[in-house]
Amino acid sequence: MEPIYTTPSATPACIDSLNLNIINLQKSPPKTLQTENENEITIIAKILAPKPLNLNAFKTTMLKSWNITGKVATNQLGDNKMAFIFAEKRDMEKVLNNTWTFRDHETVIAWWPPDKALAEVDLDTARFWVHIYGIPVSYINVPNVEKLANEIGTFVKTDLHSPAQKWKNSVKIKIDLNINKPLISFLDFTCSGGKKLLLEIRYECLMDFCHTCGRIGHKGLYCSWQGKEDDDGNREGIFGPWMKFEAPHIKNPKFVDVLLLNN
């Protein structure tokens, strides 16, 4: 079995050149410490930002936004990362099942299993609500939506809970996205008979987003991909502000009573 390298301080090649003894360790028995809570569950929150941010302010903002009922302990992990240790599983699930931002930056939330080192936790996946525009109504069903979602990222769920949800200008899907890859802006769709349509993709809460490379976590000023074409064939000029979903602003209708007067 290949080793998993959990240290950022040395390269795998450098480590492989060393003659290291293999040490077998045992997991701690339950409740090793008197203060230990066997129900404690930990998540890591990472702010996707090109510069270090104030983690104390991040902690205060997140706890207020989450509005949870149980106790929470925290540890600062550096590199815009913080561990939140929950006493209640339902509180952790509430946080994991939603998307969060801090000061116009996306935030990656991931569960930290007790049998994994920090470096083993997947912090490259962010959860987004995504809207797909242009699907003909007769093609809107869960299998098709799931197939389209998996072209963008990894399907999680959709809001197609009733037939009426088809009759909207877009289909809403929750998707897990690899933050190291460019976002998908369009999809080609072929109908029966060979008619081709271009589906437009828009993302909710798309904050720190680079219009040059299509990746989240930075903007053009900090982009290291300028002038490059990546392995996925994505090029400059196909990303822009239109990829950010904006909820339509619908004013409440006003009803005016008309009094007819007989002359």
Average pLDDT, the chain: 81
Question: In what side-by-side order are the strands of the sheet with 100-102?
Answer: 72-78, 81-86, 41-47, 105-111, 100-102
Neighbours of 194 (CB within 10 A): 6
67-73 long-range contacts, CB within 8 A, separation 24+: 68/94, 68/95
What average pLDDT score do residues 24-30 get? 57
Q: CA quadruple 216, 217, 222, 225: dihedral positive or negative?
A: negative
Residue-wise pLDDT for 183-205, tens only, equals 999 998 888 888 888 999 999 98
Which CA distances in Å does 138 have to 55, 57, 144, 168?
Answer: 48, 48, 11, 12
Find out whether 39 and 89 touch, Cβ atoms under 8 Å: yes
For residue 30, pLDDT beyond 60: no
Q: CB burial class (10 A; 0-12, 13-18, 19+) of residue 178?
A: middle
Find out whether 72 and 84 touch, Cβ atoms under 8 Å: yes
Find out whether 105 and 49 touch, Cβ atoms under 8 Å: yes
For residue 255, pLDDT beyond 50: no
More confident residue, 75 or 12: 75
Task: Dig out the tokens for 114 from the structure.
Answer: 């007790």
CA 55 to chain centre: 19
Q: At what angle do helices 55-66 and 89-96 cross, to 10 degrees?
A: 100
The one-letter amino acid code at 132 reads I
Instruction: Specify the length of the chain in residues.
Output: 263
Which CA distances in Å does 179 have to 128, 146, 152?
Answer: 11, 20, 12
For residue 33, pLDDT beyond 50: no
Task: Dig out the tokens for 12 from the structure.
Answer: 């795998």
Best-predicted range by mean pLDDT (118-122, 210-214, 237-241): 118-122
Residue-wise pLDDT for 148-181, tens only, equals 999 999 999 998 877 777 788 889 999 999 999 9
More confident residue, 118 or 230: 118
For residue 230, pLDDT beyond 70: no
